[in-house]
Structure 1
């Protein structure tokens, strides 16, 4: 005879069944705990934190740099017309697309919730959209849970993740309780994996659901235009065709940045005016160029400013070329080039702690964060460091290194750099990892109950442990073994 017993109190949720001599135990997690686990596994990064980081990296969001678009006829038509659901903002690198979207998000958030996503593969973008939607409207999590309860975290990561998540997303879009929503995807051109799948999803969903409006941005790529043009109602805004508005916004940005420099560096009026004239004449309507030059001037003594101004050529590529020359002639040239090479092929931004595990740093510097930051500052037109995380100042900086400076940064080729990165990762893991490295006393303790030590022994090897398989698959196996066995 079978019996079922439920226990309350501290063991609530434990069920024991006895049947024909066999005893089974089932631990039933509370619903709230399962929801938290699902959200935690779904999350890639927080779009809101990403937006804050981007604004901070670019020196803050200036309302005069984006307010023009709020009066743009195509923007207003997209916003006011129920049948116009897809807004596409397109323009060349450095024209301010990302900051423009940040400003639009701020304006829309005052009226209705907006979700912004900026990730580099289609599945991660879709995860980000779903995560933000269920964060804003928790009842929608049921569509994720229906799949997650069976598959667990693999739902978001295995080879079928895109197909599974597409169905979840479609179910959310069809949910009758879904509130009016704006979905924002920045930099479609930076989606390096399965971009056609993402574009097709945007076209299909924007053409189907009237209560959801989309904003996307990208460069002027014909492949993106071909697909987005198939949407029922697409409102394209070309920054090149709105050159007057963009140029006026850039002038406002220049005025703001020069005012900041003059205040901090105590410029005399003639120096301030000279800086303003030079930036206005050579910016070519490019926000990024202005930001990078002002960043360099901020490190320049005011008595050398007028001489330094002449060294800034117009155009992003010319400015990046000047920066490579500066790296080449610096006393830390080799360390700089190693860092730039690793950052260019890394699968994500890396921390200062991880840097020493991936890059061969000169003796005495691996434990000196201040010295490492000084080296990164030499690469200032390419890299920046925020809260101990190293990132590119812009996608165009990474592309310049991979394409136009590859001989300088990768003298032996990309594959050789992958090999060196893999080899160093292995060495660091072999030296660092050991059984129960965190000294956890209780077996089976949950992550919520565990307090991470102040000095995390895994901080330096986190990237290596997670991505070594990816690095290895990027190499030819025979070439890897031949080279590795010689070490």
Structure 2
């Protein structure tokens, strides 16, 4: 009869029997499972997938648009000089910095990728998942340990004690900084390239990130850094370009202009083939783009995008309405939106997209704004509406995203454009209200029909259609929109707000916890509840007649886990799911 012993430690569920070969197999499987859980929790997004998405959104990576930098003197000196580890590529919006870094990554991967680590991260201010310093470190570390698995020990030495909270709680930056520094000091670390795009779009923790980059680039000569950003004085000051290399796109105007010209040739050739332009029309479009682009890739891309939606016979007439310069072009495009037959839904969509915390899917958009009846359930018609906003928004895999950070900045800056007629705070409040409505309508007990209490999160497969699709954004960000609606500045909530929040906490709170569980976002729920608690205290509100905030926090942190039985927050498999040791 087999002797079986269970350990309730980091290898919970591991069982020992008389068959030593089976013991070894189970131990290795357990360790592999724990390593995979650590990687899953570390990952915010996969930087390689972000790179592919960015390239696809921009119509693909054109080698002629970036190859000039490979022959640039400053770039070659940085690459060859062991004492110069940090390179800063800087330039104005739309100058092609992101695609330039995509090209550098590809060239490094092709030439030396098998013998070195190449880890990169693309910051995007429009997405809270990848617009902060902590996310940057998580992305870089994730790529490093995926390429060199032995480095994972630096992460697991702390992860085994704290779990996913290591990457997400208030001390995450400090913990990840130590882990990152230890990785860079590891004597087994291969030669490494670390690349961060768009530092200016790191909206939280940028000073700390810049200090870390500066310190690490000085302390670890086997690591080469490339970072990019706009021409911000505070970034220049902290990176100390007197000691490090810098490439200014404005100072390399001739090379950039030539690259933009190659980009124009490519775009016009594609348009001419698709739209069947005559040679005269093709040449006229090429001359207009060349003389008005001002060395800006984004301007060319936006104009060509509009020409792609214009009939061949109106192309030259339409070409005349595109003024040079990004801001002038955005002004022209917002006028086009205001004058369209669908001006109101367009403005509503632009307003919502300007203040949401990440790109949103069609289903989520329909739950956040009130759309005309003929649009709410018609994705094709909704795509047509978004096409009217084409200089600001684009669609990728049924998800709406900004074409560029500068487009969002224009909408938030130009208040006279009518996108926020009632003010940004009111728009936040509208999203908060509709988020509550979406959750009331959607959330219910055992929403995925799992049926088995304690089912592991990593094994949950969303049903199709996904019943949480429309309310997913609402579940994660409703408290943030309440906070940014400005209500806390009034020191009190009105009766409608008190009633709606109280009603939600009374009737849907546990269903909300379950939804957060299946979404793998319990940590965000904790942060939301703590924010709500602080908000209610500042607002002098009492929910004694509904549910106290201390009860809320106690429940979600886990002291009363039995109230949410269907999902197990543990990454480990239950004991009964581990095969028994054989005789």
Instruction: Report which structure shows greater RCO (CA 8 Å, sep ≥6).
Output: 2
Q: Secondary structure at the match of 1:88?
A: strand
Cα distance change of structure 1 residues 407 and 273 upon mapping to structure 2, 3 Å threshold? closer
1:199 to partner: Cα distance: 0.3
2: distance between equivalents of 1:15 and 1:370?
Answer: 58
Q: Secondary structure at the match of 1:458?
A: coil
Q: Which residue of 2 aligns with 1:117?
A: 121
Question: Pairwise mapping of residues 126-205 of structure 1 onto structure 2 (< 5 A)?
Answer: 126-205=137-216
Cα distance change of structure 1 residues 478 and 211 upon mapping to structure 2, 3 Å threshold? closer
Cα distance change of structure 1 residues 142 and 406 upon mapping to structure 2, 3 Å threshold? farther
* TM-score when normalising by structure 1: 0.93
Q: Deviations over 1:408-451 (max 9, x none)?
A: 11111111111001010001101110000111122222234333
Question: Pairwise mapping of residues 356-367 of structure 1 onto structure 2 (< 5 A)?
Answer: 356-367=366-377
Q: Deviations over 1:14-63 (max 9, x none)?
A: 479xxxxxxxxxx9981111111111111111111111111111111111
1:230 to partner: Cα distance: 6.5
1:454 to partner: Cα distance: 1.6
Q: Which residue of 2 aligns with 1:294?
A: 304
Q: Which residue of 2 aligns with 1:75?
A: 75
Q: Which residue of 2 aligns with 1:431?
A: 441
Q: Which residue of 2 aligns with 1:482?
A: 494
Q: Which residue of 1 aligns with 2:325?
A: 315
Cα distance change of structure 1 residues 87 and 484 upon mapping to structure 2, 3 Å threshold? farther
2: distance between equivalents of 1:263 and 1:242?
Answer: 32
1: distance between equivalents of 2:475 and 2:152?
Answer: 31
Q: Which residue of 1 aligns with 2:512?
A: none
Question: Pairwise mapping of residues 326-365 of structure 1 onto structure 2 (< 5 A)?
Answer: 326-365=336-375
Is the counterpart of residue 458 in structure 1 residue 457 in structure 2?
Answer: no
Is the counterpart of residue 219 in structure 1 residue 226 in structure 2?
Answer: no
Kept in 1, the 8 Å contact 2:334–2:417? The answer is no
Cα distance change of structure 1 residues 254 and 478 upon mapping to structure 2, 3 Å threshold? closer
- Of 431, 437, 443, which residue of structure 1 is paired with 2:453? 443
Cα distance change of structure 1 residues 254 and 85 upon mapping to structure 2, 3 Å threshold? same
Q: Deviations over 1:359-395 (max 9, x none)?
A: 2211232111111111111100000000111110001
Cα distance change of structure 1 residues 200 and 12 upon mapping to structure 2, 3 Å threshold? closer
Q: What 5-or-longer segments of structure 1 have no aligned partner?
A: 17-26
Q: Deviations over 1:257-297 (max 9, x none)?
A: 00000000000000000000000010000000000000000
1:478 to partner: Cα distance: 6.4
Is the counterpart of residue 6 in structure 1 residue 5 in structure 2?
Answer: yes
Question: Pairwise mapping of residues 359-438 of structure 1 onto structure 2 (< 5 A)?
Answer: 359-405=369-415, 408-438=418-448
Cα distance change of structure 1 residues 86 and 306 upon mapping to structure 2, 3 Å threshold? same
Which segment is superposed worse, 331-340 or 111-120? 111-120
Q: Secondary structure at the match of 1:215?
A: strand
State the superposition RMSD in angstroms: 2.1
1:82 to partner: Cα distance: 0.8
Is the counterpart of residue 100 in structure 1 residue 97 in structure 2?
Answer: no
Q: Deviations over 1:304-330 (max 9, x none)?
A: 011001000000001101110111011
Kept in 1, the 8 Å contact 2:118–2:144? The answer is no
Which segment is superposed worse, 441-450 or 424-433? 441-450
1: distance between equivalents of 2:146 and 2:481?
Answer: 33
Q: Secondary structure at the match of 1:140?
A: helix
Q: Which residue of 2 aligns with 1:20?
A: none
Q: What 5-or-longer segments of structure 2 have no aligned partner?
A: 18-26, 123-129, 501-583
2: distance between equivalents of 1:28 and 1:257?
Answer: 53
Q: Secondary structure at the match of 2:219?
A: coil
Kept in 2, the 8 Å contact 1:423–1:484? The answer is no
Q: Which residue of 1 aligns with 2:32?
A: 32
Question: Pairwise mapping of residues 250-289 of structure 1 onto structure 2 (< 5 A)?
Answer: 250-289=260-299
Aligned residues: 471
1:335 to partner: Cα distance: 0.9
Q: Which residue of 2 aligns with 1:24?
A: none
1: distance between equivalents of 2:474 and 2:383?
Answer: 21
Kept in 2, the 8 Å contact 1:51–1:102? The answer is yes
1: distance between equivalents of 2:270 and 2:417?
Answer: 37
